Amino acid sequence: MNPPLVLGPIVHYLNSLDALNTSNQRVRNLLQGKCKEEIPDTGTFIWVDVRDLALAHVKAIEIAEAAGKRFFITQGYFSNKEICEIIRKNFPEYEKELPGKEVKGGGYPDGGVYKFDNARTRNVLGIEFRGLEESIVDLVGSLKEVGV
């Protein structure tokens, strides 16, 4: 299994918000108001939901055709700017912590982004990936439960 950035809800125990996985820290930082002046560069523009990644692991064990193959487990593209807009739309209580709508940064590069091919994952494992909004809404909900 070869995942890129992994987003999604937290289900394990966290003894501290610093113990959060690196991918989800970007969302925590937005919710805590650490990016009000500029939306950080996205860096890696492809992602997968942790639940889809877990399902891919299970299916790779169960499906004989998957044996010995490598799978690129990615849903698609995202940007930090899109994450801000999803949070703003679904969690208005965080509006004052988010970068303002006029704040620059966090978008896609001017020249576009690289291509990827996840056809083997979809065809062999039968994965139907969750959308970014579902993943971010569930992640923020889980972060609220642990005190963000």
Spans of the chain, pLDDT less than 70: none
What is the pLDDT at residue 45? Answer: 97
Residue extents of the structural domains in the chain: 5-145
What was the pLDDT predicted at 69?
97
At 12 the pLDDT is 81
Per-residue pLDDT, 21: 85
Burial state string for 91-124 with b = 16 or more CB within 10 A and e = fewer than 16? beebeebbbeeeeebbeeeeeeeeeeebeebeeb
Domain 5-145 CATH assignment equals 3.40.50.2300: no
pLDDT computed for residue 110 by the predictor: 93
Residue 117 gets the label, from left (phi > 0), alpha (psi -120 to 50) or beta, of beta
- The predicted pLDDT at position 146 comes to 85
The pLDDT score that the predictor gives to residue 17 is: 80
Q: What is the DSSP letter of 146?
A: T
